Structure 1
Amino acid sequence: MINRIIIVLVLVPLAIVLIALSVANRGPVQLTIDPFNPGNPALSYTAPLFVWLFAALIAGLILGSFATWFNQGKHRKLSRQRKLEAELLRKEAKKASVDSGATPNLPSLH
């Protein structure tokens, strides 16, 4: 329920603004990659401004996602290590309880 409220309150107005921005900025804009020779046709691309804005937005999302993924790598590694350790401890506890004759009441990961 709360997710739908967030979608309505955030994404719908954002979509309206992006659509209005796209309609208002349909004029062609030239992007030149070569700063020393701006007239170089091989390194100049022309597209509407909203295309460049959306491309920058998508590139930012992708770069931010990769940065977050790399930054959280240490947490994923620690989680894998702790999962393996917990599984080993479960096996040892189960083996010890079987040897002693008691029935273990251990939750399984599967």
Structure 2
Amino acid sequence: MIKRVVNILVLIPVAIVLIVLSVANRQPVTLALNPFRPEDSVLSVTAPFFVYLFLAVIFGLVLGALITWFTQGKYRKRARIEAHEAVKWHGEAEKHRTRAEAIASQAVLPASAK
């Protein structure tokens, strides 16, 4: 519940700021990818400025998510290894439990036969 409230308190102001920036920056802007000949239309893109703002935000989110995912890889690997070991030890404990029950049942049989 607290996480939802915090998300609302953060996301609503960010959304309002992005909407205001989008409305205020509707004029077309040319992004020239050729620094030596900016007038070259082959390597230039014309779009409203808010498109570039949204693309920069999306690029930052994707880049941050990828960096986080790669840096946490060692923890995911460790969790996989420990989960595999837990399954292995659980199977080992189950094997010993059944063996102990078999030994206990064999020990009880001769005593009841007397």
TM surpasses 0.5: yes
Task: Please tell me whether Structure 1 or Structure 2 has the larger radius of gyration of its CA atoms.
Answer: 2
Q: How many residues align?
A: 102
- Taking structure 1 as the reference length, the TM-score comes to 0.87
Other structure's SS at 1:42 match: coil
Q: CA deviation at 1:2?
A: 1.4
Percentage identity across paired residues of the two chains: 53
Structure 2 residues not aligned, in runs of 5+: 103-114
Measure, in 1, the Cα distance between the counterparts of 2:7 and 2:70.
28
Other structure's SS at 1:46 match: strand
Q: CA deviation at 1:8?
A: 2.7
Measure, in 2, the Cα distance between the counterparts of 1:84 and 1:40.
58
Structure 1 residues not aligned, in runs of 5+: 103-110
Asked whether 1:25 is paired with 2:25, we answer yes
- Taking structure 2 as the reference length, the TM-score comes to 0.84
RMSD: 1.3
| Aligned match of 2:96 | 96
Equivalent AA in structure 1 for residue 72 of structure 2: Q
Deviates more, 1:81-90 or 1:60-69: 60-69
Asked whether 1:53 is paired with 2:57, we answer no
Moved over 4 A (4+): none
Measure, in 1, the Cα distance between the counterparts of 2:66 and 2:3.
25
Equivalent AA in structure 1 for residue 46 of structure 2: T
Asked whether 1:73 is paired with 2:77, we answer no
Equivalent AA in structure 2 for residue 35 of structure 1: P
